[in-house]
């Protein structure tokens, strides 16, 4: 019974809280029990705050009795070790910051707390959230609950692994190259990369158009509910977008036109992932949608575009807080990133040119051709070792190799596009979940959710 409670969706839990059929205290204890059972194997949590969480759960139970419960009241929400919570450790997965205590709370975490969410744990992340796997010299290796030899994905890997293991009910993520969608795909979850500005940020990340904070959950309804809590404008962030309330119910997919691209022009996904994508397309057709394969002509210039931008902007941000890029306390993938040749302002500006070409083609082939959304794989393979790139691992590879395994970063280049990851099956080869990206037009957040709800 405890395990069953731990796997409740957030929307189910809130409904049961309101009906007095379940207490937030009972749910939290079930989640803690799952954490105690699974953490020795998956290592999803950096720090836990269970005693504080228990006190909050008791207050949440009282709020339901008093009729004053907020939207996330009593829901255990795992917070990625990227947004700060004042008074708690903020390591960003780095030995350099192992003892840093946050002196402020960032917007996404503050909105969770203000909505009554119980931040019972901080989750592991690769160092500075800059890898598609989740291991660091500080926290060790975080593994997939589905297959302990494989990665849980990154960079929101601890968040996703916790959800899949039942040790949280909702979890926060952030995405600068796929860091919400990749772990969502590899853990059988729903994850949403909002358009740039939908979820507000503080300096300097509010000016990073590739980056977005967003929600992870076990159902589409959960992610809609969570996104509605954390989105909306913020005083001081002029890039934050106007309010947008995602509806809980949407029209069926019947009548929608959906474009399908298994490779986006230059990726080579495993056949089992392509087969799962085709099966999802067949299901959409059964539901009344028109799904057509389109031929995209994007090339690996997209990779060069992303690396140029990230090295220019994110590299400068990281470089400002890392005194010595050769510091042996840093992970190899961070050292590789910091050693990228300097990028000039001209090269950075030129990188945006190919992004415009990418968007123009997507418009021609999909959105201006009458299609409502695009679907494509999230990752090219589920066979990624948990310790991929670790100095002691046989699975060697660096940051460049990692980005070749995922199909997410093109939609960070096109940062105004909303993208939902939706589970589409289990890979026969590894037993690891597979996911597809549902991409909507700029700022049309409801479109990918409409497709996801219809499946």
The verdict on 125 and 272 lying in the same domain is no
Q: Is 57 inside any structural domain?
A: yes
CA atoms of 376 and 363, how far apart (whole Å): 16
Q: Is 280 inside any structural domain?
A: yes
Per the DSSP assignment, residues forming a β-bridge with 77 are 170
The residues annotated as belonging to the active site are 80, 155, 179
CA atoms of 229 and 111, how far apart (whole Å): 7
The verdict on 58 and 15 lying in the same domain is yes
The verdict on 294 and 203 lying in the same domain is no
The verdict on 223 and 268 lying in the same domain is no
Q: Which of 143, 135, 126 is nearest to 38 (CA)?
A: 143
Q: Is 49 inside any structural domain?
A: yes
Inter-residue contact 412 to 397 (CB < 8 Å)? no
Query: Which DSSP state fits 216?
Result: E
Q: Is 249 inside any structural domain?
A: no
Inter-residue contact 187 to 160 (CB < 8 Å)? yes
The verdict on 206 and 311 lying in the same domain is no
Question: Any idea which residue has 């913020």 for tokens?
Answer: 234
CA atoms of 81 and 100, how far apart (whole Å): 12
Q: Is 261 inside any structural domain?
A: yes
* CB-CB neighbours of 304 under 10 Å: 12
pLDDT at res. 1: 57
Q: 10-residue block means of pLDDT along the chain (455 residues)?
A: 88 98 98 98 98 98 98 98 98 98 98 98 98 98 98 98 98 98 98 98 94 98 98 96 96 98 98 98 98 97 96 88 93 92 92 96 98 98 97 89 96 98 98 98 98 95
The verdict on 408 and 332 lying in the same domain is yes
Query: Which DSSP state fits 380?
Result: S
Domain that residue 413 falls in: 257-454
**For the whole prediction, is pTM greater than 0.95?**
yes
Give the chain's domain count. 2
Q: Is 136 inside any structural domain?
A: yes
The verdict on 189 and 303 lying in the same domain is no
CA atoms of 164 and 113, how far apart (whole Å): 22
Q: Is 244 inside any structural domain?
A: no
The verdict on 353 and 396 lying in the same domain is yes
The verdict on 207 and 273 lying in the same domain is no
CA atoms of 340 and 349, how far apart (whole Å): 17
Looking up residue 89, the CATH number of its domain turns out to be 3.90.1300.10
CA atoms of 175 and 89, how far apart (whole Å): 21
Measure CA 245 to chain center. Answer: 20
pLDDT at res. 245: 97
The verdict on 203 and 326 lying in the same domain is no
The verdict on 82 and 212 lying in the same domain is yes
The verdict on 214 and 340 lying in the same domain is no
């Amino acid at each position: 019974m405890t395990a069953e409670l731990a796997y409740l969706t957030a929307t189910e839990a809130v409904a049961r809280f309101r009906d007095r059929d379940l207490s937030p205290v009972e749910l939290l204890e079930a989640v803690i029990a799952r954490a105690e059972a699974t953490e020795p194997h998956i290592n999803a949590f950096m720090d836990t705050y269970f005693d504080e969480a228990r006190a909050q759960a008791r207050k949440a139970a009282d709020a339901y009795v008093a009729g004053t419960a907020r939207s996330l009241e009593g829901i255990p929400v795992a917070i990625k070790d990227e947004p700060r919570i004042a008074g708690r450790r903020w390591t960003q997965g780095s030995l350099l910051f192992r003892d840093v205590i946050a002196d402020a709370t960032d917007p996404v975490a503050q909105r969770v707390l203000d909505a009554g969410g119980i931040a019972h744990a901080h989750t592991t992340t690769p160092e500075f959230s800059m890898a598609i796997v989740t291991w660091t010299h500080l926290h060790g290796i975080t593994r997939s609950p589905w297959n302990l030899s494989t990665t849980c994905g990154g960079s929101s890997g601890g968040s996703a692994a916790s959800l899949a293991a039942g040790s949280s009910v909702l979890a926060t993520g952030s995405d600068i190259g796929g860091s919400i969608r990749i772990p969502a795909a590899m853990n059988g979850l729903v994850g949403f990369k909002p358009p740039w500005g939908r979820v507000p940020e503080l300096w300097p990340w509010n000016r990073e158009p590739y980056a977005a904070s967003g929600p992870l959950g076990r159902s589409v309804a959960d992610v809609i509910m969570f996104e509605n809590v954390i989105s909306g404008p913020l005083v001081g962030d002029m890039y934050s977008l106007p309010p947008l309330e995602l509806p809980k119910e949407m029209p069926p997919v019947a009548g929608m036109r959906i474009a399908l691209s298994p490779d986006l022009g230059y990726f080579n996904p495993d056949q089992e992932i392509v087969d799962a994508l085709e099966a999802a397309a067949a299901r959409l057709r059964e539901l009344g949608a028109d799904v057509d394969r389109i031929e995209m002509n994007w090339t690996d210039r997209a990779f060069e575009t992303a690396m140029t931008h990230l090295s220019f902007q994110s590299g400068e941000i990281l470089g400002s807080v890392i005194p010595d890029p050769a510091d042996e306390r840093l992970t190899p993938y961070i050292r590789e990133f910091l050693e990228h040749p300097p990028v000039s302002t001209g090269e950075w500006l030129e990188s945006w040119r190919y992004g415009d070409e990418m968007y123009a083609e997507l418009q021609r082939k999909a959105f201006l051709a009458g299609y409502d959304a695009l679907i494509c794989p999230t990752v090219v393979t589920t066979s990624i070792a948990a310790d991929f790139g670790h100095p002691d691992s046989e699975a060697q590879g660096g940051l460049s190799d990692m980005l070749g395994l995922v199909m997410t970063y093109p939609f960070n280049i096109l940062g105004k596009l909303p993208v939902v990851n939706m589970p589409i099956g289990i890979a026969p080869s590894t037993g690891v979940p597979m996911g597809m990206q549902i991409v909507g037009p700029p700022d049309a957040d409801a479109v990918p959710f409409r497709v996801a709800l219809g499946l």
